């Protein structure tokens, strides 16, 4: 199977004569055999991007290259790119077999070849025994298998998955996620996986491209993106609960370096070894797991507990600090604080993230000089 | 499935009254159709004839048959009216639904932001039919379309097209557009995707719409009356012809033709009863 590389070059999609910009000049390169997740909240332009890649929508400007060749002028059916829809888009008036055979019949493949391919894909997806029944009799996860199978049977160069698991119940979703991971390993396709679910993105993709308001704000390896968010949006989007973000400024005082928030101040001299520090406003990112409750008077900041939520073995404690809700991830095993209780919080100074408040980009902490970290490409 | 709610006594009484009001004319027509001429106008009224007869039905196709009862003159057999109704209704229905189907797909899939489309389509239904009948007669006589099936079919298509378009649009709207996009990704053209995927998936709605439009055409009276003279005839027009100057109103014969005309509608109505509300409300009510 060929493994093309896909490139999006300044890809843009406008609606209503430019009044709405759904996709805003995005650039993205995907290597052959790679699985990349387009992650973002609803309406950020993920599905529009997929529709342009597959050929259902024409870009307003920009280009799409597959194996170095522009495919913008090639109709959807001739790009050899498969798309699995969120709503399955299974032809319920046909049997499962007819659904799987549909794409090959259009391509006028010999009947024996179609039958062989359909049985192979049905075997791969575990739906061989359902081939003769009408698709309308299938349940959610089976419909999703048929939708994936119908795409796989045509042996696409690139497989696009548009929130394929979001209509499934939790149990089926876990099973399908395992299934997709297995397929990905067995077939080795180039896959673009659109989702708003970061767990899905983190568990299925090699790389994640985070989208916001039509732009790609960061593209990073899955193993790296949580450790080194390159943009404030990414820091505030990933994680459950996501990173706490505090606006403030760096200040030197008596040879010590402080982060001055309106309500608290952190001495960062032992953590940061910056030759020059940014003079403007910065945003300090602190993961909820990097904060802990400490005995009164011994913490870095004080606040009032506003909510305590236990989720299995973990607990999320929300503390109001200067009008800002700060989330702390704690073990459910320890005794929880009461709401309205005054508490102190200690920061783990070794796991801080700093962003420029104007550009929203990451400032690398452990360099000898201040360096704006451009989003990786 | 949810358990049907039990009716209260008051609801049951209201429903019963409504049912009697609705079914009484049908009962009366059927009874009149099998009454001999002496019973048609009897006073006091005869509800159920003591000597039922099929003479009224026979008179429909043999105008002189009724003379045996001393009733004179039905000048024309109803055969041409039945044939005319079948020609006009079937052809106009097929055309209306075919054009309406592609209009519906067009509006549903490609005119999402056109807020004037519903108004433009429905505007044809906003006129009182009598108000547009006269201009149509003048225009049609100028272009030689009066007293022709072509003219009658053209006007039937024009007046039922808003119904067929809007009713079919509601069925296409229910279908996720991804289903057609999936077919396009598999290699179908846009048109082929609609032909092979959209239309088979709304065939239930297509059938219901066809039947509904057929009912409208089959029972249309005003345009058939003003556009027909001697070459064409339809059942509703023939019904009016049984009000004669010489022999008075031939109630029994009229009722017999009405019963015959009703039969296909009852059969059709039985099959599309769940969709009828959708047609009446231009697709606003979903099943």
* CATH code at position B83: 1.10.3720.10
Choose, out of A102, A146, A194, the residue to mutate when testing the contact with B (most B CBs < 10 Å): A102
**Contact check, Cβ <8 Å, B186/A102:** yes
pLDDT band at A199 (very low <50, low <70, confident <90, very high): confident
Residue A192 has pLDDT above 50, yes or no: yes
What does the pLDDT read at residue A256?
84
Give all strands of the β-sheet with A291-294 in edge-to-edge order: A291-294, A342-347, A301-311, A314-321, A324-331
Phi, psi of B50 (to 5 degrees): -75, -30
Nearest to B268 by CA among B221, B217, B197, B225: B217
Dist CA A87 CA A209 (whole Å)? 23
Dist CA A41 CA B77 (whole Å)? 72
B171 in a structural domain: yes
What does the pLDDT read at residue B113?
66
Mean pLDDT, to the nearest integer, of B256-276? 85
Residue B63 has pLDDT above 80, yes or no: yes
Chain B partners of A55 at a C-beta cutoff of 8 Å? 184-185
**Contact check, Cβ <8 Å, A77/B184:** yes
Nearest CA in chain B to A16: B113
pLDDT digits (tens, 9 = 90+) for B243-255: 776 667 888 999 9
Residue B25 has pLDDT above 80, yes or no: yes
In this structure, the strands spanning A324-331 and A314-321 are antiparallel
pLDDT band at A168 (very low <50, low <70, confident <90, very high): confident
B256 in a structural domain: no
What does the pLDDT read at residue B5?
75
Residue A94 has pLDDT above 70, yes or no: yes
pLDDT digits (tens, 9 = 90+) for A353-371: 899 999 999 987 654 333 3
**Contact check, Cβ <8 Å, B201/A55:** no
B217 in a structural domain: yes
| % of residues, chain B, pLDDT over 70 | 91
DSSP B7: P
Nearest to A173 by CA among A86, A241, A258: A86
What does the pLDDT read at residue B280?
60
What does the pLDDT read at residue A338?
87
Dist CA A22 CA A213 (whole Å)? 7
Choose, out of A47, A56, A107, A162, the residue to mutate when testing the contact with B (most B CBs < 10 Å): A56
What does the pLDDT read at residue A370?
31
**Contact check, Cβ <8 Å, A91/B201:** yes
Number of domains chain B contains: 1
Element (DSSP H or E) covering residue B244: strand B243-244
**Contact check, Cβ <8 Å, A76/B179:** no
In this structure, the strands spanning A20-30 and A6-15 are antiparallel
**Contact check, Cβ <8 Å, A89/B178:** yes
Residue B97 has pLDDT above 90, yes or no: yes
**Contact check, Cβ <8 Å, B187/A103:** yes
Residue B120 has pLDDT above 90, yes or no: no
* Nearest beta carbon to residue B181 from set A16, A89, A102: A89
Domains annotated on chain A, with CATH: 6-225 (3.40.50.300), 233-373 (2.40.50.140)
In this structure, the strands spanning A353-356 and A342-347 are unpaired
**Contact check, Cβ <8 Å, B188/A150:** no
Cα distances (angstroms) measured from residue B82 to each of A228, A247, B157, B239, B266: 81, 84, 19, 11, 16
In terms of Cβ atoms closer than 10 Å to its own Cβ (0-12, 13-18, 19+), residue A129 is exposed
Nearest to A130 by CA among A145, A117, A112, A115: A145
pLDDT band at A374 (very low <50, low <70, confident <90, very high): very low
Selected residue with higher pLDDT from B132 and B284: B132
Q: How far does the CA of residue B174 sit from the closest CA of chain A (Å)?
A: 13
Chain B partners of A80 at a C-beta cutoff of 8 Å? none
Q: Is A20 on the interface with B (CB under 8 A)?
A: no
What does the pLDDT read at residue B194?
92
Chain A partners of B188 at a C-beta cutoff of 8 Å? 77, 106
Please give the residue range of the domain that contains residue B87: 79-235+267-280
pLDDT digits (tens, 9 = 90+) for A10-45: 999 999 888 999 999 999 999 988 899 999 988 899
**Contact check, Cβ <8 Å, B176/A83:** no
What does the pLDDT read at residue A276?
63
Chain B partners of A92 at a C-beta cutoff of 8 Å? 201
**Contact check, Cβ <8 Å, B185/A106:** no
Element (DSSP H or E) covering residue B12: helix B9-33
B1 in a structural domain: no
Mean pLDDT, to the nearest integer, of B45-61? 90
What does the pLDDT read at residue B285?
53
Choose, out of A16, A53, A85, the residue to mutate when testing the contact with B (most B CBs < 10 Å): A85
pLDDT digits (tens, 9 = 90+) for A272-291: 765 567 777 999 999 999 99
Nearest to B52 by CA among B32, B66, B69, B68: B32
Residue B87 has pLDDT above 90, yes or no: yes
Nearest to A327 by CA among A297, A358, A368, A285: A285
Task: Check: CB of residue A293 under 8 Å from CB of residue A328.
Answer: yes
Q: Is A102 on the interface with B (CB under 8 A)?
A: yes
Dist CA A46 CA A193 (whole Å)? 10
Cα distances (angstroms) measured from residue A299 to each of A265, A293, B67, B132: 11, 8, 113, 85
Report which listed range, A14-28, A133-147, A188-202, B197-211, is most confident: A14-28
Mean pLDDT, to the nearest integer, of A202-227? 91
Cα distances (angstroms) measured from residue A86 to each of A65, A74, B182: 25, 24, 11
* Nearest beta carbon to residue B185 from set A16, A54, A86: A54
pLDDT band at B138 (very low <50, low <70, confident <90, very high): very high
Chain A partners of B113 at a C-beta cutoff of 8 Å? 16
Count of CB contacts below 8 A, A vs B? 59
Beta bridge partners of A161: A84, A193
CB atoms within 10 A of CB A18: 9
pLDDT digits (tens, 9 = 90+) for B147-192: 999 999 999 999 999 989 988 988 898 888 888 898 898 888 889 9
Q: How far does the CA of residue B197 sit from the closest CA of chain A (Å)?
A: 7
Dist CA A296 CA A306 (whole Å)? 17
CB atoms within 10 A of CB A157: 18
Q: Is A93 on the interface with B (CB under 8 A)?
A: yes
CB atoms within 10 A of CB A34: 18
Mean pLDDT, to the nearest integer, of B271-283? 66
Q: Is A136 on the interface with B (CB under 8 A)?
A: no
B163 in a structural domain: yes
Task: Check: CB of residue A285 under 8 Å from CB of residue A245.
Answer: yes
* Nearest beta carbon to residue A83 from set B179, B185, B200: B185
In this structure, the strands spanning A61-66 and A291-294 are unpaired
Selected residue with higher pLDDT from A212 and A172: A212
Nearest to B252 by CA among B81, B57, B51: B57
Q: How far does the CA of residue B202 sit from the closest CA of chain A (Å)?
A: 10
Q: What does pLDDT average to over chain A? A: 86
ipTM of the complex: 0.72
Dist CA B181 CA B188 (whole Å)? 9
> Taking each helix axis from N to C terminus, what angle separates B9-33 and B251-280, rounded to the nearest 10 degrees?
140
B8 in a structural domain: no
> What three-state secondary structure class fits B45?
coil
In terms of Cβ atoms closer than 10 Å to its own Cβ (0-12, 13-18, 19+), residue B128 is exposed
Nearest to B129 by CA among B223, B238, B216: B223
Q: Is A299 on the interface with B (CB under 8 A)?
A: no
Instruction: Spell out the residues 6+ positions from residue B18 whose beta carbon is closer than 8 angstroms to its own.
Output: none
What does the pLDDT read at residue A88?
80
| % of residues, chain A, pLDDT over 90 | 42
Chain A partners of B183 at a C-beta cutoff of 8 Å? 91, 102
Cα torsion at B260, B266, B268, B274 (round to 10°)? 170
Give all strands of the β-sheet with A353-356 in edge-to-edge order: A265-267, A256-260, A244-253, A281-286, A353-356, A362-363, A372-373
Cα distances (angstroms) measured from residue A50 to each of A7, A56, A214, B283: 13, 9, 12, 33
3-state helix/strand/coil string of chain A: CCCCCEEEEEEEEEECCCCEEEEEEEEEEECCCCEEEEECCCCCCHHHHHHHHHCCCCCCEEEEEECCEECCCCCHHHCCEEEECCCCCCCCCCEHHHHHHHHHHHCCCCHHHHHHHHHHHHHHHCCHHHCCCEHHHCCHHHHHHHHHHHHHCCCCCEEEEECCCCCCCHHHHHHHHHHHHHHHHHHCCEEEEEECCHHHHHHHCCEEEEEECCEEEEEEEHHHHCCCCCEHHHHHHCECCECEEEEEEEEEECCEEEEECCCCEEECCCCCCCCCCCCCEEEEEECHHHEEEECCCCCCEEEEEEEEEEECCEEEEEEEECCEEEEEEEECCCCCCCCCCEEEEEECHHHCEEEECCCCEEECCCCCCCCEECCCC
B26 in a structural domain: no
What does the pLDDT read at residue B281?
59
**Contact check, Cβ <8 Å, A93/B186:** no
Nearest to A160 by CA among B19, B130, B215, B185: B185
Distance of CA A298 to the CA centre of its chain: 38
């Amino acid at each position: 199977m060929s493994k093309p590389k896909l490139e999006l070059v300044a890809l843009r999609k406008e609606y209503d004569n430019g009044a709405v910009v759904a996709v805003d000049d995005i650039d993205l390169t995907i290597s052959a055999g790679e699985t990349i997740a387009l992650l973002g909240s609803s309406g950020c332009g993920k599905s529009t991007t997929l529709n342009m890649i597959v050929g259902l929508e024409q870009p307003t400007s920009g280009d799409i290259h597959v194996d170095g060749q522009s495919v913008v002028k090639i109709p959807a059916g001739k790009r050899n790119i498969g798309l699995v829809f969120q709503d399955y888009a299974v032809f319920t008036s046909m049997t499962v077999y007819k659904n799987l055979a549909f794409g090959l019949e259009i391509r006028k493949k010999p009947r024996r070849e179609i039958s062989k391919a359909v049985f192979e894909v049905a075997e791969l997806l575990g739906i061989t025994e359902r081939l003769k029944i009408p698709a309308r009799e299938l349940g959610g996860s089976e419909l999703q298998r048929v939708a994936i199978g119908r795409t796989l049977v045509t042996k696409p160069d690139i497989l696009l998955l548009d929130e394929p698991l979001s209509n499934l119940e939790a149990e089926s979703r876990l099973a399908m996620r395992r299934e997709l991971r297995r397929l990905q390993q067995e077939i080795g396709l180039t896959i673009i996986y659109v989702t708003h679910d970061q767990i899905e993105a983190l568990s299925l993709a090699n790389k994640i491209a985070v989208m916001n308001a039509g732009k790609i704000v960061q593209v990073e390896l899955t193993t790296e993106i949580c450790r080194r968010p390159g943009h404030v949006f990414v820091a505030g989007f990933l994680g459950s609960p996501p990173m706490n973000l505090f606006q403030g400024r760096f200040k030197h005082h008596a040879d010590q370096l402080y982060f001055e928030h309106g309500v608290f101040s952190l001495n960062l001299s032992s953590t940061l070894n910056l030759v020059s520090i940014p003079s403007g406003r910065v945003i300090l990112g602190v993961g909820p797991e990097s904060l802990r409750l400490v005995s009164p008077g011994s913490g870095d900041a004080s606040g009032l507990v506003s909510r305590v939520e236990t989720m299995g073995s973990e607990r999320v404690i929300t503390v109001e600090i200067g009008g800002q809700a700060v989330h702390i991830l704690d073990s459910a095993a320890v005794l929880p604080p009461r709401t309205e209780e005054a508490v102190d919080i200690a920061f783990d100074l070794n796991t801080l993230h700093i962003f420029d408040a104007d550009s929203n980009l990451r400032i690398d902490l452990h360099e000898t000089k201040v360096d704006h970290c451009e989003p990786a490409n | 499935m949810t358990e049907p709610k039990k009716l209260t006594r008051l609801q049951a009484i209201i429903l019963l009254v409504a049912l009697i009001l609705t079914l009484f004319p049908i009962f009366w027509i059927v009874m009149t159709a099998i009454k001999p001429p002496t019973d048609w106008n009897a006073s006091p009224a005869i509800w159920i004839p003591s000597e039922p007869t099929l003479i009224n039905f026979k008179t429909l196709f043999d105008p002189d048959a009724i003379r045996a009862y001393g009733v004179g003159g039905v000048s024309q057999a109803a055969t041409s009216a039945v044939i005319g109704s079948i020609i006009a209704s079937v052809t106009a229905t097929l055309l209306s639904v075919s054009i309406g189907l592609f209009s519906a797909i067009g509006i549903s899939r490609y005119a999402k932001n056109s807020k004037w489309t519903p108004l433009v389509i429905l505007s044809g239904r906003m006129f009182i039919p009598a108000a547009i009948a006269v201009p149509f007669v003048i225009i049609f006589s100028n272009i030689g379309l009066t007293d022709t099936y072509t003219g009658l079919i053209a006007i039937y298509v024009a007046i039922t097209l808003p119904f067929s378009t809007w009713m079919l649009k509601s069925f296409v709207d229910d279908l996720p557009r991804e289903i057609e996009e999936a077919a396009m990704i598999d290699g179908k053209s846009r048109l082929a995707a609609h032909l092979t995927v959209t239309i088979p998936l709304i065939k239930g709605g297509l059938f219901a719409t066809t039947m509904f439009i057929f009912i409208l055409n089959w029972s249309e009276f005003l345009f058939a009356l003003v556009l027909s003279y001697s070459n064409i005839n339809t059942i509703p027009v023939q019904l009016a012809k049984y009000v004669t100057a010489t022999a008075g109103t031939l109630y029994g014969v009229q009722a017999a033709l009405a019963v015959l005309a009703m039969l296909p509608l009852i059969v059709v109505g039985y099959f599309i009863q769940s969709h009828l509300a959708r047609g009446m409300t231009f697709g606003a009510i979903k099943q």
